[in-house]
Chains A and B, each alone.
Chain A
Amino acid sequence: MSAHLLGLVTIIYFAAALFLLIGAIFHRPRLEGLARGALVLGWGGHTGALLYRWIESYQLGIGHAPLSNFYESLIFCSWSLVCIACLVFWRQIRSYLGALIATLAFLLLAYASLGGIDSQITPLIPALRSNWLEIHVITCFLSYAAFALGFGAALLYLIRTRQSRPHSCKGDPLPPPAELDRLIYRTIMIGFFMLTLGILTGAVWAEAAWGSYWSWDPKETWSLITWLIYAALLHARLVRGWQGKRIALLAVVGFLAVLFTYFGVSFLLPGLHAYLT
């Protein structure tokens, strides 16, 4: 049942992305408003689908939060992205940035619904039966989502500053570089905080489950690499006063590390975090 609802949400996100793009290209503010409304509507449905899946798992007698395998992580990743975008950066979610976020949310859901990814609700293995599961997964994915937004802003910044015309014509759908620069900083600040929380909750959990709060498992190590890159970015900006292009490039590199932490480690590097495959 929740799968049908998710199918609908996927279509809504796609439509939102499309309308935001068209609205940005042809300067149609009303279309943009419509698309933004669709995004919120889609997110409502998305939340409902997650809750419904949770209830379904209880009906099967194995009740647990829908955060336990690769399929559920994709669904939740998409949800976190739209959540952060709508709740924290609502004013910035327009035109190309909005289209980018809606596209990402759509792609994640579409990928999840492809064949080959097991969407069954299965019982939790003993290692995952812990109160730390929810808080660890939620903080980690909120950090991924915030970093994805930062990546989007960084991309737009790089495109924006590469354009030959220095002065924007009226109604330019790209926000001014200074605003994008600030957005990169704000998203990464939130992402960094969430990632830190994610690593800490993971460490406390690992101490109980694996016997060590840090065991250089590939997922742990890659989250540390990501953390170090963003820590360097924040220091470069706050202490050395870096701005603009260099920060945007670091934000892109940081997000590549995020992608590898999420997907690369799961599929390429064997380790303790092998719940996803």
Chain B
Amino acid sequence: MTADQSPQNLLQKWWSNLSSIRLALILLLLLAGASLIGTLLPQGEKYAFYLSRFGPRLGKLIWWLGLGTVYQSPWFLALLGLLLVNLIVCSSRRLPDTLRRVKQPLQLDRYQNLPARLEVHWPAEPTDPRPRLESCLRQVLGPIKVHPEGETHWYLSLRGRRGYLGPYLIHLSIVLIILGGLIGMIWGFQGHVLIAEGDAVNHLDLPGHQESRPLDFSVQLNKFQVLSYPDGTPREYRSDLSFIQAGQEIFKGISRVNEPLKFGGLTFYQASYQTVPAGPIRLNVCHGNLCTPMEVPWRTKVDLPGGEASVMILRIEKDFQGLGPALLMAYKNGPGHPAIFWVVQNPPEDMEDQPGPHRFTLAEMRTRYASGLMVKKDPGVWWAYAGFILLLPGFWLAFFTPRQRWAVALQPDSPGGWRIQVNGSGVRHQEAFQRRLTRLQSRLEKGAGP
């Protein structure tokens, strides 16, 4: 038995595995793979759908692995959770070291041996060259630290040291975004209301739930409008809403596509609309020469006089292709499939004939709009947004703050002049390093003149 297998070491091994970059890489690619499955397989369908589409064996497998709801399945959430733990553990393990590195004063022994980049000679002159060199270096390299060592003067500079913090900011933002998603999943909800103009509702329909969710106020639709471009294509859908509590209107506002309305901790989104009747629908039904007026309810099957035929109004339109009010009717006479056709209030000359033997004309129909609103509460949104905002400085620091280390040595040269030796490195940003080096070179060479 070696010491390696003692429980403590095992725990340590687990811990280091949990925080390893290797695990992070595997998780990133697994999450990518899982997301890919979710886009290829139809999501959120019923059990029977997968059985009929993929056969009993494969369908069952898909269902039991949760591949029909990948993004809500326990194993996907577990992967996300593992990534969260990995991010937190990995970052908190490395952070102290990084902070030390950021705060640490520059130490000569770590800088002396940076790769040599440049050598410039300044001729002998009566004045001290040091102030001149210092100001030159400060201009090109920023803050510097002077470090005399015998006859040699060292000037040390670490540029972009805050850049080391970039990855931590990014990881923190990702953690916030994932947490925001989980918070929204647990404490948020999404519902739907369909309100006809003039009506008010005080509860939400929740998808996949039998009972609806009561509201402590009611929402009234005062008006729904479709605004159009000159060519007739829709430009804007808007609902004018009032919020009513204890019989009093307490808030009024407009919900448009792209401009939801917030009230009472909920957000109301313009989602859909339809035309609904604003009164009785009256038809004239003719059979041969015998015509009878008839009131037909909406979306309900009714038998015609005589009993052998029946009709149902499927849909109504306020203005059907510029022909005024119209309704879509299913008409069944005898066995076989029902015929489906439009009945228009002002039919044009070339209107297609109805199948008969019954003929229908639209006598009276008043309509109004009903607006479909999506209603949502998501307490996690601000967590995610905080993450979004933090990501920007994080990226800036991590990728666009070049880290460079410089060490410049000033030494007396043999004929009474001075030798300036420039060492430095900028591993991940060589182009930026090279640019600064060129600038430094031209400044130093200019500085050589009297």
B59 at the binding interface (Cβ < 8 Å): no
A126 at the binding interface (Cβ < 8 Å): yes
Contacts of B385 in A (CB 8 A): 204
Question: Known contacts being A196-B391, A212-B376, is A189 close to B399, with CB within 8 Å?
Answer: yes
Contacts of B376 in A (CB 8 A): 211-212
Question: How far is it, in angstroms, between the C-alpha of A200 and the C-alpha of B38 when the chains are bound?
Answer: 21
Within the complex, the shortest CB–CB distance from B171 to chain A, in Å, comes to: 11
A216 at the binding interface (Cβ < 8 Å): yes
Contact of A123 with B229 in the complex, beta carbons under 8 Å: yes
Contact of B395 with A203 in the complex, beta carbons under 8 Å: no
Question: Known contacts being A126-B257, A200-B388, A209-B258, is A62 close to B229, with CB within 8 Å?
Answer: yes
Within the complex, the shortest CB–CB distance from B217 to chain A, in Å, comes to: 20
A236 at the binding interface (Cβ < 8 Å): yes
Contact of B237 with A231 in the complex, beta carbons under 8 Å: no
Annotate A212-226 by CB proximity to B: 1 below 8 A, 0 otherwise. 111010100110110
Q: Which residue of A has the minimal Cβ distance to B29?
A: A232
Contact of A126 with B234 in the complex, beta carbons under 8 Å: yes
B21 at the binding interface (Cβ < 8 Å): yes
Contact of A125 with B234 in the complex, beta carbons under 8 Å: yes
Question: How far is it, in angstroms, between the C-alpha of A122 and the C-alpha of B29 when the chains are bound?
Answer: 40
Using a CB-CB cutoff of 8 Å, which residues 223-267 of chain A contact chain B? 224-225, 228-229, 231-232, 235-236, 238-240, 265
Question: How far is it, in angstroms, between the C-alpha of A222 and the C-alpha of B378 when the chains are bound?
Answer: 24
Contact of A235 with B25 in the complex, beta carbons under 8 Å: yes
Contacts of B374 in A (CB 8 A): 211
Contacts of B140 in A (CB 8 A): none
Contact of B236 with A129 in the complex, beta carbons under 8 Å: yes
Within the complex, the shortest CB–CB distance from B38 to chain A, in Å, comes to: 6
Contact of A231 with B381 in the complex, beta carbons under 8 Å: no
B81 at the binding interface (Cβ < 8 Å): no
B186 at the binding interface (Cβ < 8 Å): no
Q: Which residue of A has the minimal Cβ distance to B72?
A: A216
Contacts of B399 in A (CB 8 A): 189, 192-193
Total count of chain B residues near the partner, CB < 8 A: 46
Within the complex, the shortest CB–CB distance from B289 to chain A, in Å, comes to: 49
B235 at the binding interface (Cβ < 8 Å): yes
Within the complex, the shortest CB–CB distance from B9 to chain A, in Å, comes to: 24
Contacts of A222 in B (CB 8 A): 35, 39
Contact of B190 with A126 in the complex, beta carbons under 8 Å: no
Question: How far is it, in angstroms, between the C-alpha of A231 and the C-alpha of B237 when the chains are bound?
Answer: 40
Contact of B25 with A200 in the complex, beta carbons under 8 Å: no
Q: Which residue of A has the minimal Cβ distance to B237?
A: A126
Contacts of B38 in A (CB 8 A): 216, 221
Using a CB-CB cutoff of 8 Å, which residues 218-235 of chain B contact chain A? 229-231, 233-235
Contact of B257 with A228 in the complex, beta carbons under 8 Å: no
Contacts of B381 in A (CB 8 A): 207, 213
Question: How far is it, in angstroms, between the C-alpha of A125 and the C-alpha of B227 when the chains are bound?
Answer: 11
A272 at the binding interface (Cβ < 8 Å): no
Question: How far is it, in angstroms, between the C-alpha of A196 and the C-alpha of B267 when the chains are bound?
Answer: 26
Within the complex, the shortest CB–CB distance from A235 to chain B, in Å, comes to: 6
Contacts of B269 in A (CB 8 A): 210-211
Contacts of B391 in A (CB 8 A): 196, 200
B138 at the binding interface (Cβ < 8 Å): no
Contact of A232 with B28 in the complex, beta carbons under 8 Å: yes
Q: Which residue of B has the minimal Cβ distance to A123?
A: B229
Question: How far is it, in angstroms, between the C-alpha of A129 and the C-alpha of B237 when the chains are bound?
Answer: 11
Residue from the list A207, A229, A269 in contact with B32, Cβ < 8 A: A229
Interface of A: prevailing SS: helix
Contacts of A62 in B (CB 8 A): 229
Within the complex, the shortest CB–CB distance from B221 to chain A, in Å, comes to: 18
B31 at the binding interface (Cβ < 8 Å): yes
Contacts of A209 in B (CB 8 A): 257-258
Contacts of A123 in B (CB 8 A): 229, 231, 233, 235
B259 at the binding interface (Cβ < 8 Å): yes
Question: How far is it, in angstroms, between the C-alpha of A125 and the C-alpha of B229 when the chains are bound?
Answer: 10
Contact of A228 with B233 in the complex, beta carbons under 8 Å: no
A51 at the binding interface (Cβ < 8 Å): no
Contacts of B152 in A (CB 8 A): none
Contact of B190 with A193 in the complex, beta carbons under 8 Å: no
Question: How far is it, in angstroms, between the C-alpha of A218 and the C-alpha of B24 when the chains are bound?
Answer: 24
Contact of A224 with B29 in the complex, beta carbons under 8 Å: no
Question: Known contacts being A213-B384, A216-B43, A216-B71, is A129 close to B257, with CB within 8 Å?
Answer: yes
Question: How far is it, in angstroms, between the C-alpha of A204 and the C-alpha of B382 when the chains are bound?
Answer: 11
Residue from the list B35, B271, B395, B428 in contact with A221, Cβ < 8 A: B35
Question: How far is it, in angstroms, between the C-alpha of A189 and the C-alpha of B400 when the chains are bound?
Answer: 9
Within the complex, the shortest CB–CB distance from A143 to chain B, in Å, comes to: 13
Q: Which residue of A has the minimal Cβ distance to B26?
A: A232
Question: Known contacts being A204-B388, A228-B28, A232-B25, is A193 close to B258, with CB within 8 Å?
Answer: no
Question: How far is it, in angstroms, between the C-alpha of A127 and the C-alpha of B260 when the chains are bound?
Answer: 12
Within the complex, the shortest CB–CB distance from B26 to chain A, in Å, comes to: 9
Contact of B236 with A61 in the complex, beta carbons under 8 Å: no
Within the complex, the shortest CB–CB distance from A74 to chain B, in Å, comes to: 22
B430 at the binding interface (Cβ < 8 Å): yes
Contact of B28 with A231 in the complex, beta carbons under 8 Å: yes
Within the complex, the shortest CB–CB distance from A234 to chain B, in Å, comes to: 9
Question: How far is it, in angstroms, between the C-alpha of A126 and the C-alpha of B25 when the chains are bound?
Answer: 41
B129 at the binding interface (Cβ < 8 Å): no
Within the complex, the shortest CB–CB distance from A232 to chain B, in Å, comes to: 4
Question: How far is it, in angstroms, between the C-alpha of A207 and the C-alpha of B259 when the chains are bound?
Answer: 10
Using a CB-CB cutoff of 8 Å, which residues 234-278 of chain B contact chain A? 234-237, 256-260, 267, 269, 271
Q: Which residue of A has the minimal Cβ distance to B373?
A: A211
B181 at the binding interface (Cβ < 8 Å): yes
Question: How far is it, in angstroms, between the C-alpha of A200 and the C-alpha of B236 when the chains are bound?
Answer: 25
Contacts of A125 in B (CB 8 A): 233-234
Within the complex, the shortest CB–CB distance from A206 to chain B, in Å, comes to: 10
Listed A/B pairs (28) with beta-carbon separation below 8 Å = A61-B229, A122-B233, A123-B231, A124-B235, A126-B235, A126-B236, A130-B258, A186-B431, A189-B399, A193-B400, A196-B391, A200-B388, A204-B385, A209-B258, A211-B190, A211-B374, A212-B376, A216-B38, A216-B71, A221-B38, A222-B35, A225-B36, A228-B31, A229-B29, A235-B28, A236-B25, A238-B428, A269-B39
A193-B400, A221-B39, A235-B28 given; 15 more Cβ-contact pairs under 8 Å: A123-B229, A125-B233, A126-B256, A192-B399, A196-B391, A204-B388, A211-B374, A212-B190, A213-B384, A222-B39, A228-B32, A228-B35, A229-B32, A232-B28, A235-B25
Ranked 3 nearest A-B pairs via Cβ: A228-B32, A126-B257, A211-B269
